[in-house]
Amino acid sequence: MKNKKWVEEFNKYGLYFSPYPYDMEYRLAEVFYEDDGGWCYNSVLLDATDKYLGSDSLEDAKEEIEHMIENHYEGEINYYKEMLDMLY
């Protein structure tokens, strides 16, 4: 995922994305470590609050979230392509 950055904010790591240079940044998700269970995430885009990840490290958690977001957008693209195909 290009044009992304991770920012540490109060023991949470936010994933920000800007589709175009000098454009507004969108916060896609955040990951954090829950003392009683491991790495978790929140994401409005993925409609998830305090969901657990299967990751063993921060780097793995970040990769997992990025993969989930890429899959989400690929699904959206495919949905709209199918809708266009139905129109023509």
Q: What is the pLDDT of residues 1-54, one digit of tens each?
A: 568 999 999 999 999 998 877 778 899 999 999 988 899 999 999 999 999 999
CB neighbours of 33 closer than 8 A, spacing ≥ 6? 11, 39, 40, 58
Residue 24 DSSP one-character state: P
Range of the domain at 32: 4-87
Q: Which residue has the higher pLDDT, 51 or 87?
A: 51
Q: Output phi, psi for 24, to 5 deg.
A: -60, 140
* pTM of the full structure: 0.85
For the chain, the domain total comes to 1
